[in-house]
Structure 1
Amino acid sequence: MRLNQFARLNPDHATQIAELNTIGLPTEKASLAELAHATYQAFEAQALTASAKDEALAERAATTKLDVAAFLAGNPTSISREVFYTIGLQYLGFEAGIDFQYDQVLEFCKQTRLPMVAGDITSQAEFNAAIYLLLNTRSKHLVTLIDLLATKGFLQHLSGNFVIFNGKTLPTFDTHKVIRERVWIESDLDSDADGQRDMLEATIFRPGETADGVKSPALFTANPYFHGTNDVTAVTHVPEPELAVKPARKQASAEPVVRPDLPQREVTGEVTTAAAYGDEDGIYSLNDYFLARGFATVYSAGVGTRGSDGLRGTGNQDETDSAVAVIEWLGGTRRAFTTRTGTTEIKAWWCNHNVAMTGKSYLGTLAIAAATSGTPALKTAISESAISSWYDYYRENGLVVAPGGFQGEDADVLAVDTYSRLKAAGDANKVADKWQARLAELGADQDREFGDYTPFWDARNYRNNVANIKCDIISEHGLNDWNVKPKNVIEFHKAMAPLSAHHKLYLHQGQHVYLNNVLSLDYTDQMNLWLSNKLLGVDNDALNQLPDVTIQDNVEPETWTTSADFGTGAGISTQDVPLGTDKQTFTDHSTAEFKAHNDTSDGFEFNIIQPESIYGDSRIVLPLLKPEQDLVIEGTPHLSLTLSVDAPSAITSVRLIDLGEAKRFTPNAGLVEAAGYPLGYDFKSANILEFKNAPKPTQAKLISLAHANTQNPISPAESIVTAPGTEVTLELDLQPTHYHLPAGRTLALIIHGADQAQTIRPTREVTYTLNLGASKLTLPERN
């Protein structure tokens, strides 16, 4: 086990003493033994009397011969490091004699990456320093010791106040008193064209202490799934059996959206108490973690969802403006009402007007979208597995592609999925005809025939508006996320580089998952440091304390590296790798083979990269490198591929793979401890996960991939006419990656036709001729 930690601060001794006193710990007694006894008694917050506390101390070991109570009763004048950390490890949740051995305490701390004081403790000052460090050390249960102690009531005497310790907020708010309410925010939209502003429902969870005057910052999650989803089986597209031949054409950019000047609703009164209860629970453990720390959490499903007006549009300007409207209300510059149709106004009077957005996938996507508005109340966003351009989600280089795991999904399908107004039939019936017209419009404009970058997709490219971003942003993404592919986050990262706003980047080895409950990284604690700074104004130097780029290694478990940037700057070089000198030919039979073997999308993803594959006749496998020393690929591999096909249009797919038998990480983190991650005192908990090696070796691993239409060699926005047999050169950026290839394993490139998991499935069998001598792969490498 390695408990990497980046969010721990090292303040001076006077600050440590002041903070220990703030949380009620003694820092001076008649003797070292008395100070230690009083401190450890305080740690036993679940015990309510002095005798009960001593009984609890007697259950903990100081040595193999003495329990803690007996050890301190001997009035020691010094405490060895071994004894201090034998006791400390037990408070951190480790079991003596099981997790660690008594004679190997210091070695266990070193291996686990737990910080230690330099020597034995011989004074009260040294004991205070050691206790301060221990309280800010990560535990077996993911959180720091002070957070773990808080779950037993250690901080209850501080309840209802913001308390800062080591630059971070403590769980000092009573989650039993949380106020749950709903309001309706007046937007600038009229997406259902009824001549009235769309009203947007928001559900709020705020600390009960706000009723007594506490001003809370707000974590806002724009979650289109919040009020439920619909069955999309009937509208999911069957992958088309024919690849259309395109005319030569170049697409224009999107036109800006112009809003009608709509009258605002009349206000007949103002109240501070909501008229509707928030009856749906929050969905994100990181939000709940901060709810216990005095942050309000707000969820809004947005325009066209149950309880709100309007129609869905999948990534359009309406969705951005819908999220921004909620932020503006929380920031005190927009109106809301107690009911959807009423005229009684309610303000976010309980909010300090500082807002952060959180969320994964579509939720994180809307955080990126809202940030590009430049709205001043948004102080930061924590965006995870997010889309920065919807073209890069549903299309690629002139092709229709499916997000990994969702073959046949498209913009119109997702609109149906999230149109939860259907769950309120009486409401949905009022706009039924308009909804069908909207779906027809989406279906036509998304263009599944040609797959080019059209004005429809340009309007859904948030990177066009990155220059408007005013707040610092954190992004987290999986390097094996074939749903929202890594290009989305890396291109966004590159786009933010020239801005004064900062972008922190976290890249893990999983797929489309959260990171806050992964044991080996203190992601939760880092976000606490960040949000305490951004929303509460705590002077903790979070911007410099948090690494700019944090990346998980794919070979060494529980290993995270940091750098100043990704795929560029000092330490990055490029290598041109030739593909060969000859010409090679193959014919794509993959659709027929897929059907003959009753394969699935997941099966295809597995089979296409195996050394022995049912798709062996439908691909070319090119072994490129077998390094004598470990190779670390970091950045965006680029393939210049010259080829011809015996058709006017064809799908070209490439996969960069790691070949060689080895135990590799499972696709996602596995369970370490069910409900082991505590979120606050007498409150919720979440599972603890960790990325682990699979129990059995595998023969191959996908590193990166790309797809392209042979009619789009110039750009996704420009198609050309190509005659069968004519050579074209495709300039393909593969998905960005950070991949550690151990010495002795083989880096290989697979070139094939249709991707049965992600592209459409043409029945025409196309023959490809690859001019390997005129082609090359450019690899970015970290030296």
Structure 2
Amino acid sequence: MISKTRVPRIPWISVLVAVLAALAAALVAPGTAAHAAGTGGGTVRHGLSQPDYSYADAIREAVWVDTGLDGDGDGRGDRVAVDIVRPAEPAKAGRKVPVIMDASPYYSCCGRGNESQVKTYDAAGNIVQAPLFYDNYFVPRGYATVLVDLAGTDRSDGCVDVGGPSDVQSAKAVVDWLNGRAKGYSARTGGNGVKATWTNGAVGMIGKSWDGTIANGVAATGVAGLKTIVPISSISSWYDYYFHQGAPLQDGPEWLSDYVESDSAHAACAAEQQKIIDGSPRTGDWTPFWTARDYVKDAGKVRASVFAVQGMQDLNVRTKNFGQWWQALSAQGVERKVWLSQTGHVDPFDYRRSAWVPTLQRWFDHYLLGVDNGIQREPMADIERAVDHWTTDPAWPAPATRDTALTLGATGTDGLGTLGARPAAAGAESFTDDPDLWEEDWAAAADTATPEKTVFTTGVLAKDLRISGGGTVTVTASSSTTSAHLSAVLVDLGPETIRDYLGGGEGITTLDTRSCYGAATAGDSPCFLDTAADTETVDHNVFSRGWADLGHYRSLAHGVPLTPGKPCTMTIQLAATDHVVPAGHRLALIVAGTDGGLILPPDTTPRVTVDLARSVVRLPLVGGAASLRTTPAGSTPRGLSARRPAAPAPSFAGAADLG
């Protein structure tokens, strides 16, 4: 219906003046500029959230959320401690804000970040120092930061179960509370009910290592309200942290739970600790314990977008965890992005800080504030191709990647063979397990026949060869004893300068200077020690690896003793990577036994024979088989005169600390 009511005519100049005045006010008045539609979050100008809110005046509070569990068996529901820092201005104006959440077991035992920051509190029990920069940077931009002590750690009830239902539920319950589906209280026991009336329920989880692992686990529950996760060097299946296809990688998970549990949990969680020991035998068998800690199988439930970050030389949380999670998410069409660095177990804040912070801001602005800043349309993958030199790809693995079969051949010299696309030929190579040696020893002697390994190499490459993704090595092998562990290692033979991922900083060195990201209070500085790349020049570079227990050739469910001399066929999964072997270098595959310091040895010392005609390597080559071109036989490999000293194998004690 058209109204016939007369509307007084207003001079157009008056309208223009009014519009200009309103626009000017929006541009200059803090806290009054346009907000992202429907979010009620931070102030957004020029496609970015702006630091318009006071960090000094932010609301700091603690809430204990009921998880619905009683892991410590005290007859009361477990409550997990939730420390909150949120801007005061939106709350006063009735606007609701999104949440950036980091759920961790490390807030009191070990600390977070390169400077091992822990939570500190005032006399009232409210947080003073929140580790890392998230609160300093994002609270002024209209986000709340929420730091959760996982069950059994710091100020939380319950027991640590190392990535299991209790760990995941203790974080999921907080997402539920933020969305009005769980109960929160003002105290660990008793207290008043507390509701999260200040948030719109949009949550992004972030964290490195165990923290990011919990983000994966919570996302795999499909919980409503979790809009995005940013897992950094994180586990997707806990079996694959402790074993690799039956081969034990480190001591059992009970060590890790004992390491992070609070004193009260130590006293109350003996029964849960025994469940962990009983459920995770060192046989390498897949048990129900591992099924409960496998998030990959539930990738179909993931509703959140995923920004994954992984060090390709991470020997703590190995890239198999990233690769299988990424592949599962890809199959489900999850919105995703990835950064792959040349570091080990390192946060991107400490190797690419000036790019990481604004990228993370734009990611959260888009998925939590609803800002259409285009980040979801930008290249999917950032890859550190050389030290501090990054390239991008529209998708990952790289477009034009093809699963390419390569065969193993003999050369007439025992222990030295060929790797190429030629048809398989009859032959065999043998090695004797030596647990005192590891991949660096093998690679340093790649052109020398030694009894503990066999090496298969291409000719000198005529053009760059890019491997993008995770490959496999299928071997048909027989053991002289009833047990055998296998290692398969890809090596770039040729000179290059790389990050020293085997050094103490795993590819970074910490400087004396600081740079600041965000606002400060007397108890929480936004200024962090700067870092620089820690590099070394090498003549070989191990860039992917995989291990297996040959006794699990039939199934991961149950390993069997080997029949000496009887051939078994097993496919070893190689860690996901993205590496270019330059023209003038050679690609090598080393097949050996115990990779000392990275896997534990078998209970015998076998001699293993590999049937070359019944073995095959499948690599994700960009451009497929046509990309593997070599120069004529007899060409001299580039720069193989100086050998990289073989570094000592990493200790299991260090690797067992996830942080």
TM-score by length of 2: 0.79
Which range is displaced more, 389-398 or 485-494? Answer: 485-494
Kindly provide the CA deviation profile for residues 628-676 of structure 1, in whole angstroms up to 9, marking residues without a partner as x: 1111111112111121110111111121111223322332244578322
Instruction: Name the residue aligned to 1:678.
Output: 517
Q: Do 2:387 and 2:497's aligned partners in 1 also have CA atoms closer than 8 Å? A: no
Instruction: Name the residue aligned to 1:319.
Output: 167
Q: Do 1:229 and 1:417's aligned partners in 2 also have CA atoms closer than 8 Å? A: no
Q: 1:763 to 1:494 in 2, by over 3 A?
A: closer
Q: Do 2:48 and 2:362's aligned partners in 1 also have CA atoms closer than 8 Å? A: yes
Instruction: Name the residue aligned to 2:395.
Output: 564
The percent of aligned pairs where both chains have the same amino acid is 28
Q: Which residues in structure 2 correspond to 1:245-264 (within 5 Å)?
A: none
Q: Do 2:67 and 2:80's aligned partners in 1 also have CA atoms closer than 8 Å? A: yes
Deviation at 1:550, TM superposition (A): 2.4
Distance 1:714 1:636 in 2: 22
Deviation at 1:468, TM superposition (A): 1.4
Kindly provide the CA deviation profile for residues 717-774 of structure 1, in whole angstroms up to 9, marking residues without a partner as x: 2434531011112211111110011111121112221122122234632111122232
Instruction: Name the residue aligned to 1:28.
Output: none
Instruction: Name the residue aligned to 1:462.
Output: 295
- Give 3-state SS (helix, strand or coil) of 2:131's partner: coil
1:358 matched to 2:209: no
1:771 matched to 2:611: yes
Letter in 1 for 2:45: F
1:551 matched to 2:383: yes
Distance 2:375 2:226 in 1: 17
Q: 1:20 to 1:692 in 2, by over 3 A?
A: farther
Q: Which residues in structure 2 correspond to 1:227-246 (within 5 Å)?
A: 227-229=108-110
Instruction: Name the residue aligned to 1:493.
Output: 326
Instruction: Name the residue aligned to 1:741.
Output: 581
1:761 matched to 2:601: yes
Instruction: Name the residue aligned to 2:418.
Output: none
Q: Which residues in structure 2 correspond to 1:403-422 (within 5 Å)?
A: 408=251, 410-420=252-262, 422=263
1:647 matched to 2:481: yes
Distance 1:172 1:530 in 2: 19
- Give 3-state SS (helix, strand or coil) of 1:188's partner: coil
Kindly provide the CA deviation profile for residues 590-635 of structure 1, in whole angstroms up to 9, marking residues without a partner as x: 34xx6xxxxxxxxx45434212899943222222342111111111
Q: Do 2:443 and 2:542's aligned partners in 1 also have CA atoms closer than 8 Å? A: yes
Q: Do 1:396 and 1:716's aligned partners in 2 also have CA atoms closer than 8 Å? A: no
Kindly provide the CA deviation profile for residues 169-223 of structure 1, in whole angstroms up to 9, marking residues without a partner as x: 1122222223322111112111122332111111111223355235322111111
Given candidates 284, 297, 304, the residue that maps to 2:132 is 284
Given candidates 399, 403, 406, the residue that maps to 2:247 is 399
Distance 2:81 2:125 in 1: 12
TM-score by length of 1: 0.67
Larger Rg: 1
Deviation at 1:699, TM superposition (A): 2.2
- Give 3-state SS (helix, strand or coil) of 1:365's partner: helix
Letter in 2 for 1:217: P
Q: Do 1:520 and 1:558's aligned partners in 2 also have CA atoms closer than 8 Å? A: no
Q: Do 2:430 and 2:607's aligned partners in 1 also have CA atoms closer than 8 Å? A: yes
Which range is displaced more, 627-636 or 514-523? Answer: 514-523
Instruction: Name the residue aligned to 1:222.
Output: 103
Instruction: Name the residue aligned to 2:428.
Output: 583
Higher strand share: 2
Kindly provide the CA deviation profile for residues 521-558 of structure 1, in whole angstroms up to 9, marking residues without a partner as x: 733222212211222222334422x42222221x3642
Distance 2:177 2:304 in 1: 18
- Give 3-state SS (helix, strand or coil) of 1:775's partner: strand
- Give 3-state SS (helix, strand or coil) of 1:289's partner: helix
Given candidates 40, 49, 65, the residue that maps to 1:169 is 49
Q: 1:325 to 1:181 in 2, by over 3 A?
A: same
Instruction: Name the residue aligned to 1:42.
Output: none
- Give 3-state SS (helix, strand or coil) of 1:757's partner: coil
Deviation at 1:298, TM superposition (A): 1.0
Distance 1:571 1:612 in 2: 30
Q: 1:195 to 1:614 in 2, by over 3 A?
A: farther
Kindly provide the CA deviation profile for residues 96-144 of structure 1, in whole angstroms up to 9, marking residues without a partner as x: xxxxxxxxxxxxxxxxxxxxxxxxxxxxxxxxxxxxxxxxxxxxxxxxx
Distance 1:306 1:584 in 2: 54
Distance 1:275 1:341 in 2: 18
Distance 2:69 2:562 in 1: 44
Distance 2:71 2:281 in 1: 22
Q: CA RMSD of the aligned region, Å? A: 3.0
Q: Do 2:488 and 2:572's aligned partners in 1 also have CA atoms closer than 8 Å? A: no
Letter in 2 for 1:503: R
Q: Do 1:162 and 1:294's aligned partners in 2 also have CA atoms closer than 8 Å? A: yes
Deviation at 1:575, TM superposition (A): 3.0
Distance 1:287 1:750 in 2: 47
Instruction: Name the residue aligned to 1:373.
Output: 221
Q: 1:681 to 1:280 in 2, by over 3 A?
A: closer
Q: Do 1:520 and 1:559's aligned partners in 2 also have CA atoms closer than 8 Å? A: no
Distance 2:24 2:362 in 1: 18
Q: 1:686 to 1:319 in 2, by over 3 A?
A: same
Q: 1:681 to 1:162 in 2, by over 3 A?
A: farther
Q: Do 1:637 and 1:777's aligned partners in 2 also have CA atoms closer than 8 Å? A: yes
Deviation at 1:690, TM superposition (A): 5.1
Kindly provide the CA deviation profile for residues 408-442 of structure 1, in whole angstroms up to 9, marking residues without a partner as x: 3x21111111112x1xxxx45xx72x422222221
- Give 3-state SS (helix, strand or coil) of 2:565's partner: coil
Q: 1:453 to 1:288 in 2, by over 3 A?
A: farther
Q: Which residues in structure 2 correspond to 1:691-770 (within 5 Å)?
A: 691=533, 693-694=535-536, 697-762=537-602, 764-770=604-610
Distance 1:437 1:615 in 2: 52
Q: 1:275 to 1:188 in 2, by over 3 A?
A: farther
Distance 2:496 2:304 in 1: 43
Higher helix share: 1
Letter in 2 for 1:451: G
Instruction: Name the residue aligned to 2:622.
Output: 782
Q: Which residues in structure 2 correspond to 1:531-550 (within 5 Å)?
A: 531-544=364-377, 546-550=378-382
Instruction: Name the residue aligned to 1:57.
Output: none
Distance 2:297 2:170 in 1: 19
- Give 3-state SS (helix, strand or coil) of 2:367's partner: helix
Q: Which residues in structure 2 correspond to 1:16-95 (within 5 Å)?
A: 23-24=27-28
Kindly provide the CA deviation profile for residues 541-596 of structure 1, in whole angstroms up to 9, marking residues without a partner as x: 4422x42222221x3642222222315xx4112332222143222222334xx6xx
